């Protein structure tokens, strides 16, 4: 069972075309950046699983989705067997991307495809074997990876939420101050950064500010490296 | 002295209080810096907390007012209660916008960490594109791959 949750403060209009596209032709970013291909998409078509819209980023807070795409595995008893992790994407795919054309070099594309396939294979293994799957984490390891927010992270979320409330009420300029504070307090949350930039003006989430911040990551990765058998280079 | 007598002009404006994800429009709330004073009735309406002889209570749980700190929490002969002080005491993040009279009370980081450490997937309810509501718990008994994405 897949449940897709769009973390989108702009609501249904922002995600409609992604869920029910007028055309199934993939944008180059999906083909090159995420390693998807036309065959995969034509098989998938319009999703038949629940595609939910999380305008307030509630699920983002509950599960620590600090970037997208991220995934959590939940077993039949409602137990988390893999906490939030990047879902089979190359950790530095964004760094490799051309900020103007969004083109990604073939080396990075190939790595994206390899990781996505490894991730899908791991999911299939878990679906078939359940807790016996080597990809289902032992509770101690799942707990260790789950981590959780610091007091400062929680304060960042509060700033984000109040900003979002003010934005919705039409107090745009006041909202932007709280958004800026949320970004300052939790710089590792690309969800906060990109969502608030996009609310500031459309396209900013993937614009020069975004790539400038990516360029300032230094030794850090854009996506945390996946800790999963078969994912290492 | 009653709450209304402190600052009638300020009390005439409603304050938006977001607590537990729920928005309440409260008349008569008094914001003083980082403190938010509410009548007992407003306290319960906005947050679910009630001031009782044993302390601030919600359901079966009561938080005694910390010894020696009563003036931070209660005033006006216990007719006014500082919700922000209680939230800070409980480790909840509190953010406010004085211009628009809006207060947000978040969940304590320790509570969230404990929830994550329990490994029990927290339930939620969200709409799909047609407005139909879905709860995670609707899918109990199935393996769930919860995937977050965004249009941005």
- Judged against a pLDDT cut of 80, whether residue B10 lies above it is answered with no
Domain that holds residue B32: 3-110
- Give A25's pLDDT tier (boundaries 50, 70, 90): low
A44: pLDDT strictly greater than 60: no
Rounded distance, CA A17 to CA A39, Å? 19
In a domain, B123, yes or no: no
Q: Is residue B118 part of a domain?
A: no
Q: Of the ranges A40-49, A65-74, B83-92, which one carries the lowest mean pLDDT score?
A: A40-49
Closest CA to B20 of A66, A161, A191: A161
Q: How confident is the model at residue A17 (pLDDT cuts 50, 70, 90)?
A: confident
The answer to whether the CB atoms of A174 and B100 lie below 8 A apart is yes
* Domain membership of residue A122 as a residue range: 1-233
Q: What pLDDT digit, counting tens, does each position of A167-176 carry? A: 999 999 999 9
In this structure, are residues B39 and B55 in contact, taking their beta carbons and an 8 Å threshold?
no
- Whether pLDDT at B8 is above 50: no
Pairwise CB contact (< 8 Å): B148 & A19 = no
Question: What distance in Å separates the CA atoms of residue B147 and residue B52, rounded to the nearest whole number?
Answer: 44
Cβ contact (<8 Å) for A123 and B147?
Answer: no
Which residue in B21, B95, B126 is closest to A159 by CB distance?
B95
Q: 3-class SS at A124?
A: helix
CA dihedral sign, ordered A207, A149, A61, A9: negative
What is the structure's pLDDT at A39? Answer: 58
Closest chain B residue to A15 measured between Cα atoms?
A: B151
State the pLDDT at residue A53. 95
Region at A88 (left for phi over 0; alpha for psi -120 to 50; beta for the rest): left
B135 lies in some domain: no
Residue A199 banded pLDDT, cuts 50, 70, 90: very high
Distance from CA of B84 to the nearest CA of A (A): 13
Per residue in B37-84, pLDDT (tens digit) is: 999 999 999 999 999 999 999 999 999 999 999 999 999 888 899 999
Q: CA–CA distance from B101 to each of A44, B1, B37, B41 (Å)?
A: 47, 24, 13, 19
Asked, for residue B102, whether it belongs to a domain, the answer is yes
Distance from CA of A132 to the nearest CA of B (A): 14
Q: Is the pLDDT of residue A40 over 70?
A: no
Q: Is residue B53 part of a domain?
A: yes
Nearest to A152 by CA among A142, A144, A160: A160
Give residue A102's pLDDT: 85
> Domain count of chain B?
1
Identify the pLDDT of residue B118: 97
Residue B128 counted as domain residue: no
pLDDT value for A89:
84
Looking at the predicted structure, is the pLDDT value of residue B24 above 90?
yes
List of chain B residues whose C-beta atoms are within 8 Å of the C-beta of residue A78? 120-121, 136-137, 140
B12: pLDDT confidence band, cut at 50, 70 and 90? low
Residue located via tokens 């075309």: A17
Rounded distance, CA A35 to CA A119, Å?
A: 12
Q: For the residues B22-41, what does the mean pLDDT come to?
A: 97
Q: Cβ B116–A147 below 8 Å, yes or no?
A: yes
CA B66-B68-B71 angle, 5° bins: 90
Nearest-by-CA chain B residue for A16: B129
Q: Which one of B106, B141, B145 has the shortest CB-CB distance to A161?
A: B106
B101: nearest CA partner in chain A: A166
Structure token pair of residue A196 = 């608030």
To which H or E segment does residue A200 belong?
helix A190-200
pLDDT value at position A45? 63
B108 at the A interface (CB within 8 A)?
A: yes
Mean model confidence pLDDT for chain A: 89
B150–A76 CB contact, under 8 Å: no
Asked whether residue B51 is domain-assigned, the answer is: yes
Q: Is the pLDDT of residue A147 over 50?
A: yes
Residue B152 in domain? no
Cβ contact B17:B105 at 8 Å:
yes
Residue B34 CA to chain centroid, in angstroms? Answer: 14
Find which of A62, A64, A136, A178 to mutate to test the B interface (most B CBs within 10 Å of its CB).
Answer: A62
More confident of the two residues A44 and B95: B95
- Tally of domains within chain A: 1
ipTM, two decimals, is 0.91
């Amino acid at each position: 069972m897949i449940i897709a949750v769009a973390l989108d403060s702009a609501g249904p209009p922002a995600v409609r075309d992604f869920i029910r596209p007028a055309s199934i032709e993939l944008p180059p970013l999906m083909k090159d950046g995420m390693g998807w291909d036309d065959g995969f998409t034509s098989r998938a078509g319009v999703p038949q699983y629940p595609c939910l819209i999380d305008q307030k980023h509630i699920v983002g807070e509950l599960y620590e989705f600090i970037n997208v795409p991220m995934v959590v595995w939940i077993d039949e008893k409602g137990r988390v067997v893999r906490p939030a992790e990047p879902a089979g994407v190359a950790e530095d795919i964004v760094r490799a991307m051309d900020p103007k054309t969004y083109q990604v070099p073939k080396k990075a594309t190939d790595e994206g495809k390899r990781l996505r396939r490894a991730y899908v294979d791991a999911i299939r293994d878990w679906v078939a074997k359940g807790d016996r799957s080597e990809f289902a984490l032992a509770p101690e390891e799942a707990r260790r990876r789950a981590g959780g927010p610091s007091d400062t992270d929680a304060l960042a979320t509060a700033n984000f939420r109040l900003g979002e409330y003010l934005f919705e009420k039409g107090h745009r300029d006041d909202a932007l101050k709280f958004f800026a504070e949320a970004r300052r307090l939790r710089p590792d949350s690309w969800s906060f950064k990109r969502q608030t930039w996009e609310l500031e003006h459309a396209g900013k989430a993937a614009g020069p500010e975004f790539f400038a911040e990516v360029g300032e990551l230094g030794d850090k990765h854009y996506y945390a490296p996946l800790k999963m058998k078969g994912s290492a280079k | 002295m009653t709450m209304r007598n402190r600052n009638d002009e300020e009390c005439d404006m409603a304050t938006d209080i977001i607590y537990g994800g729920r928005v309440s429009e409260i008349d008569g709330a008094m914001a003083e810096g980082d403190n938010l004073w509410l009548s007992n009735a407003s306290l319960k309406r906005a947050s679910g907390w009630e001031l009782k002889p044993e302390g601030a209570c919600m359901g079966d749980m009561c938080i005694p007012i910390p010894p020696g700190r009563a003036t931070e929490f209660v005033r006006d002969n216990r007719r006014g209660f500082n919700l922000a002080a209680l939230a800070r005491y409980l480790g909840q993040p509190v953010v406010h916008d004085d211009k628009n009279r809006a207060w947000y009370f978040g969940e304590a980081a320790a509570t969230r960490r404990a929830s994550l450490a329990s490994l029990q997937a927290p339930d939620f309810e969200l709409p799909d594109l047609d407005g139909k509501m879905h709860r995670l718990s609707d899918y109990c008994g199935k393996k769930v791959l919860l995937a977050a994405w965004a249009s941005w």
